[in-house]
Structure 1
Amino acid sequence: MDLKDIQNLIKFVAKSGASEVKLETDDIKITIKTGSENERGETTYIQQIPTMQAQPNIQQPQVQEANGANQSSTQEDADSKLITIKSPIIGTFYRKPSPDKPVFVEVGSTINIGDVLCVIEAMKLFNEIESEISGKIVKVLIDDSSPVEFDQPLFLVDPS
């Protein structure tokens, strides 16, 4: 919506006799209030609605020893066999079903298809995230009670 359209809308609202009009689209929100007889003119509020941007994933630096070349190639071979379980939704990641219960899975836990790995809270709903593969948990990539984005890696699993 450009400035000319907004001006035409203001004129239309003023002529119609309406005291307040609100218009909201994907990226802009407009509220037009016309004054009463005690007030002059009209008041227009234009607000840009912020879009949510994905937070960059912060990767931890890896410490390598003096024979780093051999270690890194071995590490790459091991990582290529691992499967990453990613978040299917945006929300808050929890490793436990409730604060007084034990965690669903630990590093070294053996999992099967359908096992609950964690809970992600979205809009006051707690969604159990179930495993779609069988294997062994190698690493938990997210801290408990941390916000997660869609498709953010949560666990590394060794399927063998």
Structure 2
Amino acid sequence: MPAYNVYDAPLGSLIRYFDGTPKPPARFTKKLAAWKSRNGVGRLVRKQPCRERATYTAPASITLHEGDFASGSVILVTVMRTHSVDSDLSFEIVERPKIGMVRVLNRIGDDDELLNLAESREAAELWLAKAGYSRARLEEVTADEVSADVIEGRTAA
């Protein structure tokens, strides 16, 4: 499915993106690195609508959190990828947040950014206390949200 269909997915969904080409053998390190940059999985953490400026127009985009590189308990590098909704890649929703999970959201400009997806409100509050975001808010995944996706045909494959 194209990226603009994934744009409607709720924050916290696990999204797979791919270009349809087969994975090259490990001995071809440059080809494998190029393939990995166009094929992967990430958690949907941000959706930005189309932005119009005087000199250009930026299409809507989605940002996926692909992982963290850490040393001990210290995160050194966070890997995020932003894809335009008119990307030539294909996207699919692998998993949606379950009922009862809690999103920790932070406001960036006019958009929300997912900081953490916790299993429960207690886990989200604990994470928030440790992380120290002062303006973050908690949002629970409700049955209404999940059932709306099913009714509208947006369930994960």
Q: Shared topology, TM-score over 0.5?
A: no
- Please say which structure displays the higher CA radius of gyration: 1
TM-score (norm 2): 0.21
Structure having the larger proportion of residues in strand: 2
- TM (normalized to structure 1)? 0.21
